Amino acid sequence: MRDDRSPAPRTFGSLPPAAALQLLGSEVRAEILWALSEARGEDGPPALSFSELRARVDADMDSSQFNYHLQELVGQFVERRGESGAAESQLVEGMAGDHGEGYALRPEGTTLTRTVRAMSVAGDAEIEPFDVGLECHVCGGAVEAAYANAIFSVQCPDCEYLYDYNLTPPGVVDGDGDVVLSRVARYNRHVRAAFADGVCPYCAHDVTTTFADAAETAYPGREHREVFVHRACEHCGNRDNLTVGEAVLTDPDLVSFCRERGVDVTSTPIWELAFAATDHATTVLSRDPWRVAVEVALEGDALELVVDESLSVVERTYS
Ligand SMILES: [Zn+2]
Ligand SMILES: [Zn+2]
């Protein structure tokens, strides 16, 4: 929970978040943001002159009326890049390159329109369940993947063990099964790695860490799990559950131990790595404070990592 003594959040334009969203409640302003977003994808500087912008949004609109809507966005989602120096320019300092003159998106406008773009898709953004080519680590069944309602799931239809169940933008569905699997495996790896590293992958805030005995949670498949590591961002609400194996996946000792034995954990889909996809190699050593071990066994050798309740690796044992 947010500390009551901390200041309420404001956008960079100093508005309460809801007031910033309220600014968008106008078709003209939405069209302005979209036109400026489209300009970012074109050749040349992503700035449009007043007349060019008005022509793209609504050439018939009265100039002063258009300017009223545009100025409502300036300083919040849009900036004016002047030709006569810093006093007129609102260009974000430190951005390299030729930015042109006129109106362009501020970082907030870029982020907003990029989010809408990320969740937009032409055609059908669903994939019927298809074979992943993986024997379920729990029951040996044929694991399947599917995409619907912006969730990419990887699950065993026989024992219902969930390997992945993540909000994934529909860009992931482009291509055939193997291409999609490869892309979603890499996308999820980066999201997981950020959470594992303690940084919200969406807003860059710290995340909290909570361990929970699997049996005491309501998560599906808990009967096959030992412990859930819940990481949450209190700023934007982003959250994820990690296995301890996922939490230590970028540990340099683990990476090189596996690499020397023919497994590249930096590119293998996590669902193929039993120590990260399941809790079969995970042991709860203590609960107060939490200490949990995960053992990676390959070619007759083993590396055991122990994490404390901050998910820091505090012991490494080779055997
Ligand atoms: Zn299964
Ligand atoms: Zn966040």
Confidence of residue 219 (pLDDT cuts 50, 70, 90): confident
Q: How many domains does the chain have?
A: 2
Compute the mean pLDDT over every residue in the chain, rounded to the nearest whole number. Answer: 90
For position 1, what pLDDT does the model report? 47
Residues linked to residue 47 through DSSP beta bridges, in sequence order: none
Q: Which residue has the tokens 């809790």?
A: 279
Is residue 150 domain-resident? Answer: no
**Mean pLDDT on 126-153:** 96
Question: What is the distance in A from the centroid of ligand 2 to the CA of 241?
Answer: 14
Give 304 Cα–ligand 2 centroid separation in angstroms. Answer: 31
Name the more confident of 11 and 26: 26
* 187/319 same-domain check: yes
User: Does residue 62 fall inside a structural domain?
Assistant: yes
> For residue 9, is pLDDT > 90?
no
pLDDT above 60: residue 88: no
Query: 250 vs 12, which has greater pLDDT?
Result: 250
* Whether residue 289 sits in one domain with residue 191: yes
List all residues 6 or more positions away from 245 whose beta carbon is below 8 Å from its beta carbon.
273, 275, 276, 277, 278, 279, 281, 282, 294, 296
Tally the residues of the chain: 319
The pLDDT tens digits for 28-64 are 999 999 999 999 877 766 899 999 999 999 999 999 9
Mean pLDDT within 288-300: 97
* Residue percentage of the chain with pLDDT more than 90: 78
Residue 185, in any domain of the structure: yes
The model's confidence at residue 96, banded by pLDDT at 50, 70 and 90, is: very low
Does one domain contain both 104 and 184? no
- If you measure from the C-alpha of residue 231 to the centroid of ligand 2, how many angstroms do you get, rounded to a whole number? 11
Residue that terminates a domain, selected from 118, 133, 149: 118
Q: Which of 118, 148, 168 is the last residue in one of the domains?
A: 118
Q: In terms of domains, do 106 and 188 share one?
A: no
Residue 4: pLDDT above 80? no
pLDDT confidence of residue 81: 84
- Same domain for 110 and 185, yes or no, is no
* pLDDT of amino acid 89: 45
pTM of the model: 0.86
Q: Is residue 12 part of a domain?
A: no
Q: Flag whether 234 is in a domain.
A: yes
What pLDDT was estimated at residue 3? Answer: 53
Best-predicted range by mean pLDDT (45-59, 92-106, 165-179, 268-282): 268-282
Distance 199 CA to ligand 2 centre (A): 8
Report if residue 70 sits inside a domain. Answer: yes
Judgement on whether residues 191 and 291 belong to the same structural domain of the protein: yes
Same-domain check for residues 185 and 87: no
Q: How far are the Cα atoms of 43, 155, 255, 281, 301 from residue 260, in angstroms, in the given order?
A: 46, 30, 9, 20, 11
Q: How confident is the model at residue 98 (pLDDT cuts 50, 70, 90)?
A: low
> If you measure from the C-alpha of residue 268 to the centroid of ligand 1, how many angstroms do you get, rounded to a whole number?
20
pLDDT of residue 55: 95
Per-residue pLDDT averaged across 199-222, rounded? 92
Cα(142) to centroid(ligand 1), Å = 7
Task: Give CB contacts under 8 A, 24+ apart, made by 135-139.
Answer: 136/161, 137/161, 137/274, 137/277, 137/278, 137/280, 138/224, 138/278
Mean pLDDT of 11-35: 91
DSSP structural state of residue 285: E
Q: Provide the residue range defining the domain that includes 32.
A: 17-118
Say what the pLDDT of residue 220 is.
78
Cross-strand bridge partners of residue 80: 103
Residue 307 binned pLDDT confidence (cut-offs 50, 70, 90): very high
What is the CATH classification number for the domain harbouring 24? 1.10.10.10
Q: For ligand 2, a single-atom ion, which residues have Cβ within 5 Å? A: 200, 202-203, 205, 233, 235-236, 238
Q: Can you give the pLDDT at residue 49? A: 92
C-alpha of 266 from chain center? 18
pLDDT at residue 94 in the model: 47
Question: Using alpha carbons only, how large is the chain's radius of gyration in Å?
Answer: 24
Residue scoring higher pLDDT (88 or 138)? 138
